[in-house]
């Protein structure tokens, strides 16, 4: 059974789910964009001997939201997760991340080589980038989105099944996988159910890192690294990822059947790879 945790950082409250013995190998698990800590519900029980703590990222699940007027920059999630491991009193630890969480995990490994013992990523390596020429338009659009927020009505679903169906249609997830995420991501409101996630998470970022900046982080990852890709996932289709792979000194890339959520849709193959990877620590 998962244990619910609350981590108080110097500036916000983070919620988390934990599995495994307290003296197990400490692994911080970081979920993807618009998901939550339940992303690891199917995988975590298949990793014996590991103390896996999956945190709801800021603005997701049961964690706190950023103050009014603040954006969700990718790089701001990094100090949030470092504050989480500090709250857990972990000096050295491994990191496991999915999608955007994989990007966060890779950056943590880059800036904390003395603390991150191993880094495993599923369908995520570094953050997304954009065409530098789109920067002014992105900034303007994000400002307009923030100004329009008070006048927007969030979606309301008459029941949980309707929300699960919406998540299936938006992401291509199977019903059982979507249900796991939706159960933690939904909250009751007067007319039905609405998302717990901060609506600002859907805004265009006011600023993206450039690819040369991202490559500089990849070069600084010294811990053993594992990247798991779905054969029908996102990373396989992105040729520029090959250069990111090449900049990491000790990286193994494994491809499994499935799409963007292989750890949730079919967790056993992922667990086999991850179990061997973490056992070598």
> Distance (Å, rounded) from C-alpha 197 to C-alpha 63?
9
130 labelled catalytic = no
> Distance (Å, rounded) from C-alpha 136 to C-alpha 177?
38
Q: Positive or negative CA dihedral for 66, 67, 69, 73?
A: negative
Catalytic residue (one of 39, 63, 99, 106):
99
> Distance (Å, rounded) from C-alpha 47 to C-alpha 194?
33
Is residue 111 within 8 Å of residue 221, measured between CB atoms? Answer: no
> Distance (Å, rounded) from C-alpha 273 to C-alpha 213?
30
User: For residue 281, what is the DSSP state?
Assistant: -
CB half-sphere exposure, 259, CA atoms < 13 A:
9
Q: Which ranges in the chain belong to alpha helices (H)?
A: 77-87, 100-111, 135-148, 160-171, 175-185, 211-219, 241-247, 262-265, 267-279
Region of 218 on the Ramachandran plot (φ > 0 left; ψ -120 to 50 alpha; else beta)? alpha
Radius of gyration of the chain (CA): 18
As annotated, the active-site residues are 99
């Amino acid at each position: 059974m998962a244990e619910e945790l609350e981590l108080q950082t110097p500036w916000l409250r983070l919620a988390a789910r934990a599995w495994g013995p307290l003296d197990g190998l400490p692994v911080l698990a970081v979920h993807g964009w618009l998901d939550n800590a339940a992303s690891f519900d199917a995988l975590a029980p298949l990793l014996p001997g590991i103390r896996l703590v999956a945190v709801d990222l800021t603005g997701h699940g049961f964690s706190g939201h950023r103050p009014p007027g603040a954006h969700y920059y990718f790089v701001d999630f990094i100090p949030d997760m470092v504050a989480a491991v500090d709250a857990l009193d972990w000096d050295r630890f491994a990191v496991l991340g999915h999608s955007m969480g994989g990007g966060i995990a890779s950056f943590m490994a880059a800036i904390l080589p003395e603390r991150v013992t191993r880094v495993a990523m599923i369908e995520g390596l570094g953050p997304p980038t954009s065409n530098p020429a789109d920067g002014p338009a992105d900034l303007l659009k994000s400002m307009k989105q923030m100004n329009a927020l008070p006048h927007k009505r969030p979606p309301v679903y008459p029941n949980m099944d309707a929300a699960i169906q919406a998540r299936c249609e938006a992401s291509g997830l199977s019903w059982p996988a979507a249900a796991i995420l939706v159960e933690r991501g939904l909250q009751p409101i007067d007319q039905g159910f609405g998302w717990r996630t901060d609506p600002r998470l859907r805004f265009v970022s006011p600023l993206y890192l450039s690819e040369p900046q991202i490559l500089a982080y990849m070069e600084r990852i010294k811990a053993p690294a594992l990247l798991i890709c779905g054969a029908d996932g996102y990373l396989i289709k992105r040729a520029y990822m090959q250069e990111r792979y090449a900049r990491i000194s000790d990286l193994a890339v494994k491809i499994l059947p499935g799409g963007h959520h292989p750890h949730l849709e079919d967790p056993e193959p992922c667990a086999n790879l991850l179990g061997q990877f973490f056992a070598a620590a």
